[in-house]
């Protein structure tokens, strides 16, 4: 089959997707649907096209310069505004969906307790899962790290003479560098998730754990598809673009030698892999080819089927503000005439389990709620973090993989605590961000200038009299100094924002004057 055969046939497109129209899905009453991403308000084409900002520059193990990449994202106002609005829109939907359940906080607590229990007995549940899966006729493999995961899967494909593999969205495979490894070994990988496919065609990593291409506008996607799929470059209608991608991907699905899915939850009791999608692409990837492979992070275990209901209720509401994903698929045993493999991957998870302050990050169910609420993430874009996991959850996960490379990320936070408040499994994200800052400072994984500044700040903040004197001096200086002396490269707080107006009186001085009796201290 040639590349021309895979280009979309305009005559075959459904009439509803050919004309430009409001891309928002509507119900029978004509009103826009209020679920998932369907209710996001359309972003109209600008008068002039704005190039999409690219992500952080990767230089081996050198620290990621998230601030530099964030500045480039902020310098693209269309993309920054669209990104911020979309994610805040999803965050608001999350609030509506969760407030509709009176027992929401009880569900969060129960989900957290189930995860705590499972992680505390992870060795037992992994053995139970393996035994159940093998009893179901599944081949179970163990991978110590990402490289071993890739070698195992490559070996399975070689044994079956497989040259093409379709896969659904999996952050674990992104973490392992799976697609790039397979490309280097002559295996053709096709992403079946729309967002992942967009990113694959544009040679970019996903920028969000749920919405991989959320940083792109429809215009960006139209340009990518025109360049790679031969679509009309002037048509940025969402229905047209989605239909074009579906038509070009479907032949790959039907002809693939093997299929792969990730895993949202792995049930120890039954040896079942559960995936949650809104496109049904995991069902296609896991059922159409006769060779099925499932990649599973060992932290995805839950004990029993009855526990699944708790996580299904909190996952979609936290991720997109919808009551449930369109598809909740269970893969337990191979179909007649097919073969199923499950690869359990550690890749640093066991080491993290032994970290007293950071092990609870393993509770994460990859909903992305912390990203949607984070002001830094919303305004800087996921690719600015230069890592598989971005946003607040990335700030506490990434340093466990490489302290030096991701040493700057825990400082890309306002520490407002909103990430912790929305986490469906109650991970104390902002406290762990602060804990990583301490660890990195103690291990000298931050620049000398910042170390000196933090040491000086610590000396001032530990002495109330010195702190009050410093505040008074700084306030007086800010009122008196000329603008060029305040807004310069040394004052990072003045980049992209105005400094707050300095008060004429400090709170401590006001309180002492108006509330303290007899001048008591």
Tens-digit pLDDT profile for residues 164-202:
999 999 999 999 999 999 999 999 999 999 999 999 999
Q: Give the separation between CA 307 and CA 293, rounded to whole angstroms.
A: 24
- Smallest CA-to-CA distance from 296 within 136, 153, 135 is with 153
Q: What is the pLDDT of residue 461?
A: 78
More confident residue, 505 or 54: 54
Q: Give the separation between CA 264 and CA 333, rounded to whole angstroms.
A: 17
Q: Which of 145-159, 348-362, 416-430, 432-446 has the weakest average pLDDT?
A: 432-446
* Residue 230 phi, psi (nearest 5): 80, 25
Over residues 65-120, the pLDDT tens digits come to 999 999 999 999 999 999 999 999 999 999 999 999 999 999 999 999 999 999 99
The ranges assigned to domains in the chain are 3-99+372-442, 459-515
Q: What is the mean pLDDT of residues 460-476?
A: 79
Angle at 95 between CA 93 and CA 100, to 5 degrees: 100
Q: What is the pLDDT of residue 18?
A: 41
Q: What is the mean pLDDT of residues 133-149?
A: 98
Q: What is the mean pLDDT of residues 305-329?
A: 96
More confident residue, 6 or 253: 253
Q: Which residues pair with 340 in a beta bridge?
A: 292
Query: Residue 123 pLDDT > 90, yes or no?
Result: yes
The tokens describing 295, both together, are 């990649």
Q: Give the separation between CA 246 and CA 223, rounded to whole angstroms.
A: 17
Tell me how far apart the terminal alpha carbons of the chain are, to the nearest angstrom. 83
Q: What is the pLDDT of residue 474?
A: 74
- Rounded to the nearest 10 degrees, the angle between the axes of helix 122-135 and helix 104-120 is 90
- Rounded to the nearest 10 degrees, the angle between the axes of helix 77-99 and helix 66-74 is 100
- Smallest CA-to-CA distance from 390 within 81, 70, 36, 38 is with 70
* Residue 341 phi, psi (nearest 5): -125, 140
For the four alpha carbons of 413, 416, 422 and 424, in that order, the dihedral sign comes to positive
Are 406 and 95 a contacting pair, CB within 8 Å?
A: no
Angle at 331 between CA 329 and CA 332, to 5 degrees: 140
DSSP letter for 475, please. H
Give the pLDDT band of residue 459 (cuts 50, 70, 90). confident
Give, in order, the Cα–Cα distances in Å from 341 to each of 137, 290, 333: 9, 11, 9
Q: Which residues have a Cβ under 8 Å from the Cβ of 487 and sit 6 or more positions away?
A: 494, 499
Q: What is the mean pLDDT of residues 11-18?
A: 41
Give the pLDDT band of residue 517 (cuts 50, 70, 90). low
């Amino acid at each position: 089959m040639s590349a021309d055969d895979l280009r979309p046939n305009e005559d075959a497109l459904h009439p509803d997707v050919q004309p430009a129209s409001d891309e928002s899905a509507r119900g029978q009453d004509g009103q826009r649907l209020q679920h998932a991403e369907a209710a996001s308000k359309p972003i109209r084409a600008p008068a002039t096209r704005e190039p999409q900002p690219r992500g952080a520059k990767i230089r081996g193990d050198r620290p990621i310069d998230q601030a530099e990449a964030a500045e480039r994202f902020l310098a693209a106002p269309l993309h920054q505004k669209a990104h911020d609005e979309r994610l805040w829109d999803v965050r608001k939907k999350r609030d509506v969906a969760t407030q509709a359940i009176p027992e929401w906080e009880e569900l969060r607590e129960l989900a957290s307790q189930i995860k705590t229990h499972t992680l505390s007995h992870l060795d037992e549940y992994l053995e139970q899962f393996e035994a159940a899966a093998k009893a179901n006729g599944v081949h179970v493999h163990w991978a110590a790290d990402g490289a071993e995961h890739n070698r195992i899967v490559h070996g399975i494909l070689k044994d079956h003479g497989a040259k093409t593999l379709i896969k659904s969205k999996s952050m674990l495979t992104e973490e392992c560098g799976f697609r790039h490894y397979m490309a280097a070994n002559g295996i053709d990988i096709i992403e079946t998730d729309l967002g992942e496919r967009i990113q694959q065609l544009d040679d970019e990593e996903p920028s969000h754990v749920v919405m991989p291409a959320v940083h792109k506008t429809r215009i960006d996607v139209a340009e990518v598809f025109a360049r790679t799929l031969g679509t009309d470059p002037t048509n940025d209608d969402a229905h047209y673009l989605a239909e074009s991608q579906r038509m070009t991907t479907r032949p790959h699905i039907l002809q693939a030698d093997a299929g792969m899915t990730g895993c949202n939850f792995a049930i120890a009791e039954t040896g079942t892999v559960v995936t949650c999608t809104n496109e049904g692409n995991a069902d296609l990837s896991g059922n159409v080819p006769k060779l099925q492979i499932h990649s599973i992070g060992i932290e995805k275990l839950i004990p029993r089927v009855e526990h699944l209901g708790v996580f299904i209720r909190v996952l979609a509401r936290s991720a997109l503000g919808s009551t449930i994903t369109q598809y909740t698929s269970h893969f337990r045993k191979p179909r007649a005439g097919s073969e199923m493999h499950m690869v359990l991957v550690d890749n640093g998870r066991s080491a993290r389990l032994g970290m007293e302050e950071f092990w609870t990050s393993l509770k994460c169910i990859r909903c992305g709620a912390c990203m949607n609420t984070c002001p830094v993430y919303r305004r800087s874009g996921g690719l600015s973090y230069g890592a598989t996991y971005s946003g607040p959850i990335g700030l506490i996960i990434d340093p466990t993989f490489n302290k030096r490379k991701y040493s700057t990320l825990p400082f890309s936070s306002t520490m407002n605590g909103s990430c912790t408040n929305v986490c469906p499994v109650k991970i104390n994200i902002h406290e762990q961000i602060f804990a990583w800052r301490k660890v990195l400072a103690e291990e000298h994984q931050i620049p000398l200038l910042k170390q000196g500044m933090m040491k000086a700040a610590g000396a001032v903040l530990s002495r109330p009299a010195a702190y009050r004197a410093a505040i008074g001096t700084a306030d007086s200086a800010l009122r008196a100094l000329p603008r060029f002396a305040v807004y310069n490269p040394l004052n990072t707080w003045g980049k992209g924002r105005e400094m707050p107006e300095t008060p004429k009186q400090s709170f401590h001085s006001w309180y002492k004057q108006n509330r303290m009796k007899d001048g008591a201290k």
